[in-house]
Structure 1
Amino acid sequence: MKLQVKFDFIQNLKKQMEDATEEELREYRENKEEFFEKSVESFKQALKDELNYDDYCWIENLEVKEVEE
């Protein structure tokens, strides 16, 4: 069985920046594109970690792309 899931993930960037550490803010200011790429990869890994279980189910070909800033 193969299921395809599609959804919108909404980030509140203003709130995120209020809660960010100085290190995170520095990384954001220095290279926004790399910061967001790392965020997307981290999000993808978190989804995989959450949705993979046992030896019977796993996630393949997970794609996340930015369509709006």
Structure 2
Amino acid sequence: MPSSPVDLSAAPRVVVGTAADLIYKVGLSMLGADRVPTAKANAWAAVCADQERARIREENARILHSVR
């Protein structure tokens, strides 16, 4: 009778998934729903940071051009 393969990654996946869920719930209860980081908030922060870097580059280019 052939033995079925054992999935060695199943237990670690369950542990990581459970830990992530627990961390999210603790963060939600401690920080509140409006302060828990989300993918949408992270994406918006990245857009804002990109815009700020572009503004700084333009300002630096303008200053360097006026000095020459």
TM-score by length of 2: 0.37
Larger Rg: 2
TM-score by length of 1: 0.37
| Structure showing greater relative contact order (alpha-carbon pairs closer than 8 Å, 6 or more residues apart) | 1
Q: Going by fraction, where is helix more abundant, 1 or 2?
A: 2
